[in-house]
Structure 1
């Protein structure tokens, strides 16, 4: 039983999966989440929620949190103006989630996932340098905004209980993603590396070869052997090739920035001759940071995920479906 938020009542008014995901996470840790929406239930996000036909205003008097991603115009139609709610329910935490924020010159724009990724600078880093940028799939921005909404709501609830007053929590998805881009910016500034799209590589995150995804016999592996000891062990794993002693291939920064394709070509035949599992076994033996890139069907059958009970079976369309569950394990303190 996960009960960090037991006794907390959350009213969820969702227009997109941003608020639904925030509600799911709060329900996962014990909050009572009441779903108020005209859309069809989502079995993934609504697994632990209660649905109701009651109006939102009927529920708020006994609630601790209102979490919503509806635009201000729709909130006004529902008599849910945030400023008025703060007066009517002074102990309530009102969490407002939106793509670009609810204040400023762009607050009224009809923006979604693409706008969040673009406005944050995230798209500047995704894709190949000679092509248009690529959106990160599966609604990364919406889900990250939902995570921030859940965490901020939980923090505001504990503050409200201590201070006796609620709070207005307002989060912009573009700003959430921009905080991730900031990390790459700091690293790029430290190493004096321009941040550019570089396909399957990531030289801007530290400037040493190798860091990226590499093909192998039956798929891809992720390889990040960037410190000097890791690089030495990687070369040993390769069988100490003669080319590694040439001056051109001892400058790992230049290898990453100036001629990575050339270095890839030296290593790729060795990788192509081995499967992901074979490479993982070698990486464990030589202590090289390398991991297989799993397919979705392989992930659902993964023994580690299964042992930890990550996937859950839920009713779906007359049958059952395995869905991702909570990405944590919570152990209650003994009484």
Structure 2
């Protein structure tokens, strides 16, 4: 059962008082600022007045699900940074900010007259996160940095997929998501330094490096042995047996016997204790060498049983096995429901809701990680474009005729809702 969770705008949070200006677009920057916003930081999305963050345009049946989830807890200030007046307002905003996030092509911030050195003159404590595909230095610094490119170049795709097939790219924005998490960690480190020293710094965040960092010791292995990672499908290059197996009722069970005692439990559970002392399967190294022969008895055992029956056997033997879920099965799992992994929050997108006759709530993952004393909170829905423009600019004295002039010339924009 999915828990309904209202927005709680007034609850205290550990990052209360931290102000973040997020100039980024699409996934990595939004993933980064989401972590900060979920734990109380005031995240202000600086968006193009005409189009907003391109993440808004990632639609499914007319609804911006990505935006609603990854822009929750944030504010929107629609400001044209191509205009001199827009850049001047941004400079004034940086004086009151703790963090600035951008993912322009390297060198763009400098061309805009917003180089980090200038920003630090205005605010020495400012932490500046610069997200790019390949980093702020190096021969590829100026190349477009889409996640797909770095997922291909990092070594990830080459080792992902089945050996007889082409390299396989991930079905999600993996590079961006990883970079966003690294970026949030980097911000917290830099904020601690700024609190102690009074000095901010620049975080050079490369998507390429973020993806490669999680691939394991591939570089070390190649340098010592000359061996390149091979595509192994659902098998592991380091432990065996590890795979997914089809059941009699056409489900799939994932099994990972990554330690010796687990492999022995598995062999006993399928009625093959003789495999424990078989020289081909006695150690993990030998099981990897004879992986086809090792897995065949497991596959045969599972293929002659329905999923529920096979899982019951494995549970009784304390074997690490689980069903492969699709999203419907994941949502129906009682553990997911009891833990509140997914919550239903109010959906304030009235126009889309009425057009699609959608419910008044939207499902999304709850705040991570779970802190016992100072948990993060869901404070507000993802903002309409320019929802907070008037209030935020009023804080720096842009009101009255000046504000109306900027609005009329479309240098800024207000939400219609």
TM-score, normalisation: structure 1: 0.88
Q: What corresponds to 1:221 in structure 2?
A: 253
Task: Please list, as runs of the form range in 1=range in 2, the aligned pairs for 1:94-243 lying within 5 A after superposition.
Answer: 94-183=128-217, 195-202=229-236, 204=237, 206=238, 208-217=239-248, 218-240=250-272
**Deviation of the 1:84 alpha carbon:** 2.1
Contact preservation (8 Å) 1:13, 1:35: yes
Cα distance between partner residues in 2 of 1:68 and 1:279: 50
**Deviation of the 1:100 alpha carbon:** 0.9
Cα distance between partner residues in 2 of 1:188 and 1:298: 40
Cα distance between partner residues in 1 of 2:251 and 2:120: 54
Q: 1:323 aligns with which of 364, 375, 378?
A: 364
| The 10-residue stretch of structure 1 (67-76 or 18-27) with the greater mean CA deviation from structure 2 | 67-76
Contact preservation (8 Å) 1:216, 1:272: yes
Any unmatched runs of 5+ in structure 2? 1-10, 57-66, 80-88, 375-417
| The 10-residue stretch of structure 1 (234-243 or 288-297) with the greater mean CA deviation from structure 2 | 234-243
Q: What corresponds to 1:10 in structure 2?
A: 20
Q: What corresponds to 1:312 in structure 2?
A: 343
Contact preservation (8 Å) 1:67, 1:96: yes
Task: Please list, as runs of the form range in 1=range in 2, the aligned pairs for 1:71-86 lying within 5 A after superposition.
Answer: 71-76=105-110, 78-86=112-120
Cα distance between partner residues in 1 of 2:225 and 2:367: 37
Q: What corresponds to 2:44 in structure 1?
A: 34
Cα distance between partner residues in 2 of 1:17 and 1:82: 22
| The 10-residue stretch of structure 1 (323-332 or 150-159) with the greater mean CA deviation from structure 2 | 323-332
Any unmatched runs of 5+ in structure 1? none
Contact preservation (8 Å) 2:264, 2:273: no
| The 10-residue stretch of structure 1 (127-136 or 233-242) with the greater mean CA deviation from structure 2 | 233-242
**Deviation of the 1:9 alpha carbon:** 0.5
* Distance of aligned partners of 1:279 and 1:83 in 2 relative to their CA distance in 1, 3 Å threshold: farther
Secondary structure of 2:266's aligned partner: helix
The CA RMSD measured in Å over matched residues stands at 2.7
Secondary structure of 2:216's aligned partner: helix
Q: What corresponds to 2:330 in structure 1?
A: 299
| The 10-residue stretch of structure 1 (238-247 or 42-51) with the greater mean CA deviation from structure 2 | 238-247
**Deviation of the 1:188 alpha carbon:** 8.5
Contact preservation (8 Å) 1:11, 1:66: yes
Cα distance between partner residues in 2 of 1:306 and 1:211: 28
Contact preservation (8 Å) 2:279, 2:286: no
Cα distance between partner residues in 1 of 2:258 and 2:219: 19
Secondary structure of 2:300's aligned partner: helix
**Residue 299 of structure 2 corresponds to residue 289 of structure 1:** no
Q: What corresponds to 1:45 in structure 2?
A: 70
**Residue 129 of structure 2 corresponds to residue 92 of structure 1:** no
Contact preservation (8 Å) 1:283, 1:290: yes
**Deviation of the 1:249 alpha carbon:** 4.3
**Residue 94 of structure 2 corresponds to residue 67 of structure 1:** no
Structure number, greater radius of gyration: 2
